[in-house]
Structure 1
């Protein structure tokens, strides 16, 4: 059984975490498999959008604690540094849109992997839990970086310290995620957005992602300089030439992602 199912369709690569009997909680082999699949999607020029989701009722319940507490299993520090940190780094480094399609509970590292993605869509029945405090740990997988930037210091502190469950609709209202979608419309809505992004000028989208990444550490002057640099790069793409031609010719553009 593959821990990460991989599917390609019309420029979209869908990666499905596949331990449904364990609510897609991570073990080492699953984390390593996801790293490999993300690398493959990043290197494949035919892939213009990536969707990360789960098989079954859950998105991802975080770390499988049976592995974490196994005397013969990996050390906790290795789980963070070798399993999760490389996943987060890959998601942010890939200059293609990455959608988290949260089809159920997203807890612990599972929640923070979702929040590291560019766009988070969730079923209305889904929920997000910073479960770390329940077992005496701190949020990892970029949680202490992304969550306060999404929802503010106070909310992030409270959610991380109390481990309170946040419904998908509440997550939208506080700015944690983009949209909550009725369960029976979810798959179609995710596919629609993924196909839309895959048909857009994805080189420009990748440069946008680079600018957003660097905005976390730049002051205004540095960010303005970066925008100048990246806009020049975007202006040299074939997609920019096609977009302007299509606008002037009053037709739909046909972007190629380069």
Structure 2
């Protein structure tokens, strides 16, 4: 395999799955190989009950320079995402839906598909040196990884159009003001992401997944429908071993040890 083909690294730390974009010589630009490997890695994460939180980060100085259009353009007409219903689409625009939390940690260049990847995450950490740009209109295409929906939802119509229609770049402070990222850090973003992932991994896994599902309902359903579904998520939790552990830990004034059961 050519070293220029993209892939992702995998590392497990306790209940945390670290997924690293690894095409440093191309500033981690997404080719079809890296898209496929990232899909596979997220599917592995979703299928492994021992893993409670995933972090997507990047090797090298840059998160991603965006899409490798030279390699991807011939494939775009037929689609570059897997149509396998068992595979997770990292951008969440089609296929199997992710049920477990993901944190994205970015630095350096975070262009196009990189922004869309963090918009589909649950928490996004950016180093203060991060440069963002949604430049598809400058390449003759439109954002097709979710920005036309999620950028607008996060930033509001006119704020999103300011960048979607021009392709202009912006910095981490602006990204934070647009609600695209959760936090700005001066340290390596993976360091901060790991702290947050450890907090998530200590919580009850089934409760985390239920909270995530209920919150996602709020973005896709109206308020009344979202509220009506809350009990569907709560009732199964009440019969779990974890809810009993949570109560006992509170009574005994100790840290709970959740098993995801």
TM-score (norm 2): 0.89
Determine if the alignment matches structure 1 residue 188 to structure 2 residue 191: yes
Structure 2 CA distance for aligned equivalents of residues 215 and 162 of structure 1: 30
Count of aligned residue pairs for this structure pair:
254
Q: Kindly report which structure 2 residues correspond to 1:39-78, keeping only aligned pairs within 5 A, or say none.
A: 39-69=43-73, 73-78=74-79
Displacement, 1:92?
A: 8.3
Structure 2 CA distance for aligned equivalents of residues 14 and 195 of structure 1: 12
Name 1:203's counterpart in structure 2: 206
Superposition misfits of 4+ residues, deviation over 4 angstroms: 80-83
Structure 1 CA distance for aligned equivalents of residues 190 and 114 of structure 2: 19
Q: Kindly report which structure 2 residues correspond to 1:27-42, keeping only aligned pairs within 5 A, or say none.
A: 27-42=31-46
Show structure 1 runs of 5+ residues with no match: none
Q: Deviations over 1:162-203 (max 9, x none)?
A: 112221122122321100100x35332222111111111121
Check conservation: 1:199, 1:256, Cα contact below 8 A.
no
Report 1 or 2 for greater relative contact order, CA contacts < 8 Å, sequence distance ≥ 6: 1
Check conservation: 1:132, 1:138, Cα contact below 8 A.
yes
Name 1:116's counterpart in structure 2: 120
Name 2:164's counterpart in structure 1: 160
Displacement, 1:132?
A: 0.7
Structure 2 CA distance for aligned equivalents of residues 92 and 147 of structure 1: 21
CA RMSD of aligned residues (A): 2.3
Structure 1 CA distance for aligned equivalents of residues 38 and 254 of structure 2: 39
Name 1:173's counterpart in structure 2: 177
Q: 1:209 to 1:92 in 2, by over 3 A?
A: farther
Q: 1:110 to 1:151 in 2, by over 3 A?
A: same
Name 1:147's counterpart in structure 2: 151
Displacement, 1:155?
A: 0.7
Determine if the alignment matches structure 1 residue 236 to structure 2 residue 239: yes
Q: 1:180 to 1:188 in 2, by over 3 A?
A: same
Residue aligned with 1:163, SS: coil
Residue aligned with 1:207, SS: helix
Structure 2 CA distance for aligned equivalents of residues 154 and 119 of structure 1: 24
Check conservation: 2:32, 2:72, Cα contact below 8 A.
no
Which protein is richer in helix relative to its size? 1
Structure 2 CA distance for aligned equivalents of residues 50 and 166 of structure 1: 27
Name 1:250's counterpart in structure 2: 253
TM-score (norm 1): 0.90
Displacement, 1:151?
A: 1.0
The one of 94, 103, 106 equivalent to 1:102 is 106
Displacement, 1:81?
A: 6.9
